[in-house]
């Protein structure tokens, strides 16, 4: 049940204002949040080896690149708003596409925005202690002895979401510009860490042997560490959601994915090299704010202040492309008649899907206020990983279903590269199922809640 032509018509009211440079920054900005500042110390507990740490970050980039090359072909085939939603709809039918969008709306996108906003508030309190998430403003008793509390940090988180929603509301150019400026700023801040390490080397890391003596289960330990790496690379595909506003998307989208992921690999590996020249492995193990500790070890307390400021910019900036791209996903679903029709509206002056932007902003703010997004995010992640697996398989299905459809870009390394992406996603699915079986099944349950909603909207569309 292809919907390619209607999707193209639906996009006609938008402005194609995102060029190659902006699209590349979109990929980088979507990914770089707080993970790179906090992940490596936890990984060092599982794999206390400089070589294994760098291998994990390199391999994570390679797996992201296999996905980027795979999605690049489908993005060039279907350069419409919605991205992955459109790929899945065209490959498997409208129900699978809808369930992907449902999971993204319910928690994946909105919960991610809420989580990053709360992280932004936490780091902002480093400079403004009165806005600390630990400072409770009001507590409301609930039935069965429960209570809901509103903290200063939650207010800050909601305010940050609202500001970015407003910026995206008044035009794709303003949202894109803010993302570009913030991405350049946070990349510059991250680049300062390797410069510090180059100028003030504190330790000499040992890059051999690959597997350190005494590591009982190296394969399992490496797999656990890779989970953190893959989540830190997550969201590189958000650019596909905004394909309806990209200039010359058949060329720009694949190139932006490749350039953006290559830049991410270079940033992540070089920053981790800086950590290894700042701290010994035993000093890194279990440290959550690893970037602050490394900067402090290199240049003193001023380094920690600089890193905290960089994280503030990074987390705030990470939500700019998430709101821009995520709203276009809801816009595409409305165009297909499987979501509220109002979210398919385009502002007559700003030429943005303003109702979709408001909807995603409000729901993300609700999750930030509820304090439950972390639990929901854990539950729905299994379903999200399944959709990544389905997205990898979609390229093979589309080549069989639509052999004559123009493909301005054909995935480099096909079929090996898509197969590697599929195998990486499959390993992630199996690992999540084994490590978190209850949460995985709960995630499928949340996904199943979308079935009555799909039935309602398709019946309403048919009646209309």
Kindly report, residue by residue over 251-304, the tens digit of the pLDDT: 999 999 999 999 999 999 999 999 999 999 999 998 888 999 999 999 999 988
- DSSP code string of 27-55: HHHHH-SSHHHHSHHHHHHH---HHHHHH
| Cα 185 to Cα 313: distance, rounded to the nearest angstrom | 7
Taking residues 92-121, what's their average pLDDT? 90
User: Which carries the bigger pLDDT value, residue 55 or residue 134?
Assistant: 55
What's the confidence (pLDDT) of residue 133?
Answer: 78
Structure tokens at 281: 């492995």
Give CA–CA dist 366/139, Å, rounded: 16
Q: Is 358 helix (H, G, I), strand (E, B) or coil?
A: helix
pLDDT digits (tens, 9 = 90+) for 52-66: 999 999 999 999 999
- Alpha carbons 332 and 425: distance in angstroms, whole number: 25
CA distance 133 to 363: 20
Domain spans of the chain, in order of start: 4-381
Q: What percent of the chain has pLDDT over 90?
A: 59
Which pair of structure tokens corresponds to residue 391? 């997205």
Q: Tell me the average pLDDT across 66-76.
A: 96
56: left (phi over 0), alpha (psi -120 to 50) or beta: alpha
Residue 379: how many CB atoms within 10 A of its CB? 23
Identify the pLDDT of residue 4.
47
**DSSP string of 372-426, one letter each residue:** -HHHHHHHHHHHHHHHHHHHHHHHHHHHHH-TTS--SS--TTTTHHHHHHHHHHH
Q: CA 57, CA 44: separation in Å to the nearest integer? A: 12
Read off the pTM: 0.92
Q: What is the pLDDT of residues 211-223, one digit of tens each?
A: 777 777 788 788 8
How far apart (Å, rounded) are the C-alpha atoms in residues 446 and 441?
9
The C-alpha atoms of residue 161 and residue 116 are separated, in whole angstroms, by 10
Share of the chain above pLDDT 70, in %: 96
Q: Mean pLDDT score of the chain, rounded to an integer?
A: 89
Phi-psi region of 415 (alpha: psi -120 to 50; beta: other; left: phi over 0): alpha
Q: For residues 19 and 245, is the Cβ–Cβ distance under 8 A?
A: no
Residue 138 is predicted with a pLDDT of 84
> 4-381 has which fold?
Amino acid/polyamine transporter I (1.20.1740)
What does the buried/exposed string (b/e) look like for 406-428 if buried means 16 or more CB atoms within 10 Å of the residue's CB?
ebbbebeeeeebbbbbbebbbbb
Cis amide bond preceding 79, omega within 30: no
Span 169-213, pLDDT tens digits: 999 999 999 999 999 999 999 999 999 998 888 888 867 677 777
Contact 30, 263 (CB under 8 A): no
Q: What is the pLDDT of residue 2?
A: 43
pLDDT in tens, 142-153: 787 777 788 888
Burial of 217-232, coded b for 16+ CB within 10 Å and e otherwise, reads eeeebbbbbbbbbbeb
| Cis omega (within 30 of 0) for bond into 241 | no
Residue 1 pLDDT more than 60?
no
């Amino acid at each position: 049940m292809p919907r390619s032509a209607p999707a193209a018509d639906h996009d006609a009211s938008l402005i194609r204002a995102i060029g190659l440079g902006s699209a590349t920054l979109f990929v980088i900005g979507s990914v770089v949040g707080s993970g790179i500042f906090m992940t490596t110390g936890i990984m060092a507990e599982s794999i206390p080896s400089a070589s294994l740490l760098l291998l994990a970050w390199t391999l994570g980039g390679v797996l992201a690149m296999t996905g980027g090359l795979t999605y690049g072909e489908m993005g060039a085939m279907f350069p419409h708003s919605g991205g992955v939603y459109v790929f899945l709809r065209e490959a498997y039918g409208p129900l699978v596409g809808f369930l992907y969008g449902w999971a993204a709306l319910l928690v994946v996108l909105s919960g991610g925005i809420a989580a990053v906003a709360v992280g932004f508030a936490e780091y902002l309190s480093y400079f403004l202690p009165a806005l600390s998430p630990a400072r409770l403003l009001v507590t409301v008793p609930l039935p069965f002895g429960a209570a809901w509390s509103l903290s200063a940090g939650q207010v800050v988180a909601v305010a940050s979401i609202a500001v970015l929603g407003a910026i995206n509301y008044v035009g794709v150019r303003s949202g894109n510009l803010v993302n570009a400026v913030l991405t350049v700023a946070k990349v510059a801040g991250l680049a300062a860490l390797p410069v510090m390490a180059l100028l003030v080397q504190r330790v000499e890391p040992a890059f051999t042997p690959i597997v350190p003596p005494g590591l009982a289960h190296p394969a399992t330990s490496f797999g656990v560490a890779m989970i953190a790496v893959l989540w830190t690379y997550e969201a590189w595909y958000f650019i596909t959601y905004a394909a309806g506003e990209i200039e010359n998307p058949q060329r720009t989208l694949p190139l932006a994915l490749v350039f953006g992921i290559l830049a991410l690999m270079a940033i992540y590996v070089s920053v981790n090299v800086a950590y290894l020249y700042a701290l010994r492995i035993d000093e890194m193990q279990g440290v959550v704010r690893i970037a602050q500790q490394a900067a402090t070890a290199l240049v003193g307390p001023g380094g920690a202040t600089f890193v905290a400021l960089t994280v503030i910019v990074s987390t705030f900036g990470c939500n700019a492309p998430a709101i821009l791209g995520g709203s276009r996903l809801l816009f595409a679903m409305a165009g297909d008649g499987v979501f509220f029709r109002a979210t398919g509206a385009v502002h007559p002056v700003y030429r943005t899907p303003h109702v979709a932007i408001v909807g995603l902003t409000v729901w993300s703010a609700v999750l930030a206020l509820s304090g439950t997004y972390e639990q929901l995010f854990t539950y729905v992640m299994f379903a999200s990983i399944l959709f990544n697996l389905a997205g990898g398989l979609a390229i093979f299905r589309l080549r069989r279903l639509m052999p004559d459809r123009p493909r301005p870009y054909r995935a480099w390394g096909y079929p090996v590269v898509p197969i590697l992406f599929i195998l990486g996603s499959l390993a992630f699915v199996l690992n999540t199922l084994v490590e978190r079986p209850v949460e995985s099944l709960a995630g499928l349950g949340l996904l199943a809640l979308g079935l009555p909603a799909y039935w309602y909207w398709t019946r309403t569309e048919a009646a209309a």
